[in-house]
A and B are shown apart, each in its own frame.
Chain A
């Protein structure tokens, strides 16, 4: 795998790893043999995803996505497909939740802490998104769609629902 540690070009948001995934998204195609498919959309910016999964015996055997959007959306979805392939459904869900928590670190540090022991791999390159509140939903669209596709467990009461 390419070492990206030094290739952070002049911007904390658009790191090289994000640009690379954007230019060359992995698994960017529909799966004709998918067992699960779901569409997701960010109405305000037009990011659109069609996420296909092949799940057998609780394991995500294959994953692909269609749709288009900005670089942050595309890179995040591309990394998603790399990371969840071969994982169990519950491992994938844990990863999705951990990533959501990491991006909410500025607004919700308590939730962010709970995710610290999960390895987020290339997703850490998207940390810069935390400084751009309107772009967080671009990074999360594929993950939110994943959570919906694999049947989200009822959300635990999050702090934001408290008054």
Chain B
């Protein structure tokens, strides 16, 4: 069923991938941050600008009428792509972040009161976390956190516990941008609906690019996604909401286009979608997003998914063979898509990404806008490779080979024979602080281990510094009061 040859042709559509970096092919593995755009999308936008551009809605001339028609058709295309029949409930925004802010500032402001609960996973991207945190602060509402299991999947028991507080809003991401984990949306929705009345907000930013989207099946109340992660332009995204909610909600931004009448004292709002699209929208962006939807539909989302699974499966195999690389998240490719996060030899992800960049391999490194999650798993960050329709197996080979360069620049530490394999798999917890991947046991610390990330991390917890440690000969570290948590189990 997976048509590998099709994807060889697809790669040709992406002009940016034809360039070289330091004499090596550009290996773009950062699509979870932003995807490249294919020639048909670029051409559609350019052709619109060359031949058809004018402001929409109010022009009484052909050019404007044509532009308006193309903008409306773009909305129809996007609605079809995400399985929405009530087209005016698809609102164009700048991106996922703006869509989520829109919900918080309208629906949230109108419905959340002091003492109410809002439930969300600690896994969330800042865009689906900070908006709810700030709403809760404004309203004196309470955030109910849904925890994750060590393999990066949502802890459904923790979900049930959060739901027992009868939250008014449950917000979560379809796919984690760190682990690539696909959350079981329908199961979560089923449990949430069974718990009582709750408005469910789904962040689809990492899901829509990879998975067939049918909002009737997903069963949520609000849905947000961005164009630039699904082969479309930047600056265009969508909010979808159920009509009864959108109609009742206060307006978000005020101005032109969103009004039906304006008097000196008051104004009234236009119908959907205009009510939520104040000012001149990103017209060419919407045209580009529609072109991206058509491009993906032409490939077929089943093929897109099959390609991702093939790449993901190959990447997991290759990284498992790279000494020092540890994959985060589930290894079953049916449970994940898009992103593959890993650590490498306990090195800081920015050091890894810098070395990879010299080899032409573009990855993301750091906290991935998920600082609370990183704190929970005791890491400063991870290195993340993410894949899309234009990637191929050679890209993954180049990633694995470039990781070999990292190993040369940062050779094994002196005490590696004792703990290289283990220090990446345990975390030391002292008090409330997870200190990150550290040395596995006091055994190896009896070697000269003062230079290890382990003793560095442990150094943080010491009230004072022993003279022997300062001299570079550490005392064996007493681990009796320190809880060691295996990371992968």
7 pairs, A vs B, C-beta closer than 8 Å: A22-B410, A23-B413, A24-B451, A27-B470, A45-B380, A68-B456, A135-B350
A68–B351 Cα gap in the complex (Å)?
A: 13
Q: Is A121 an interface residue (CB 8 A)?
A: no
Q: Is the CB of A70 within 8 A of B348?
A: yes
Most buried by B among A22, A24, A46, A73: A46
Q: Is the CB of A30 within 8 A of B350?
A: no
Chain A 23-41, CB-CB to B under 8 Å as 1, else 0, gives: 1110111111000000000
Question: Distance in Å from the Cβ of A142 to the closest Cβ of chain B?
Answer: 14
Instruction: Select which of A22, A68, A72 is within 8 A of B380 by beta carbon.
Output: A68
**Cβ < 8 Å to A, chain B residues 440-489:** 450-451, 453, 456-457, 459-460, 462-465, 469-470, 472
Q: Is the CB of B348 within 8 A of A30?
A: no
Q: Is B171 an interface residue (CB 8 A)?
A: no
Q: Is the CB of A64 within 8 A of B465?
A: yes
A29–B465 Cα gap in the complex (Å)?
A: 6
Question: Distance in Å from the Cβ of A156 to the closest Cβ of chain B?
Answer: 31
> Nearest A residue to B451 by beta-carbon distance?
A24
Taking Cβ atoms with an 8 Å cutoff, the residues of A that contact B are 9-11, 13-14, 19, 22-25, 27-32, 44-48, 50, 64, 66-74, 132, 134-135, 138
> Nearest B residue to A50 by beta-carbon distance?
B460
A61–B347 Cα gap in the complex (Å)?
A: 32
Residues on the B chain within 8 Å of A134, using CB: 350
List the 6 closest pairs (A to B, CB-CB), nearest first. Answer: A29-B465, A70-B348, A46-B380, A24-B451, A32-B464, A23-B451
Residues on the B chain within 8 Å of A48, using CB: 380
A104–B347 Cα gap in the complex (Å)?
A: 26
State which size class the interface on B falls in: 20 to 34
A23–B459 Cα gap in the complex (Å)?
A: 14
> Nearest B residue to A44 by beta-carbon distance?
B366
Given A32-B464, A46-B381, A71 and B457 touching (CB < 8 A)? no
Q: Is B24 an interface residue (CB 8 A)?
A: no
Taking Cβ atoms with an 8 Å cutoff, the residues of B that contact A are 347-348, 350-351, 354-355, 358, 366-367, 374, 380-381, 408-410, 413-414, 436, 450-451, 453, 456-457, 459-460, 462-465, 469-470, 472
> Nearest B residue to A30 by beta-carbon distance?
B465
Q: Is the CB of B366 within 8 A of A14?
A: no
Residues on the A chain within 8 Å of B460, using CB: 50, 66-68
A22–B409 Cα gap in the complex (Å)?
A: 12
A1–B414 Cα gap in the complex (Å)?
A: 20
A19–B450 Cα gap in the complex (Å)?
A: 15
Question: Distance in Å from the Cβ of A59 to the closest Cβ of chain B?
Answer: 20
Q: Is the CB of B380 within 8 A of A69?
A: yes
A45–B481 Cα gap in the complex (Å)?
A: 30
Question: Distance in Å from the Cβ of A82 to the closest Cβ of chain B?
Answer: 13
Most buried by A among B354, B450, B472: B354
Residues on the A chain within 8 Å of B456, using CB: 25, 28, 68, 74
Residues on the B chain within 8 Å of A45, using CB: 348, 350, 366, 380-381
Other than the known A66-B459, A68-B453, what 10 A-B pairs have Cβ atoms closer than 8 Å? Answer: A11-B358, A24-B450, A30-B463, A30-B464, A30-B465, A44-B366, A45-B366, A46-B381, A47-B380, A68-B456
> Nearest B residue to A73 by beta-carbon distance?
B348
> Nearest A residue to B464 by beta-carbon distance?
A32
Question: Distance in Å from the Cβ of B401 to the closest Cβ of chain A?
Answer: 15
> Nearest A residue to B470 by beta-carbon distance?
A29
Residues on the A chain within 8 Å of B436, using CB: 68
A46–B350 Cα gap in the complex (Å)?
A: 10
> Nearest A residue to B457 by beta-carbon distance?
A68
Given A24-B451, A68-B460, A14 and B409 touching (CB < 8 A)? yes
Q: Is the CB of A70 within 8 A of B366?
A: no
Most buried by B among A27, A28, A67, A138: A28
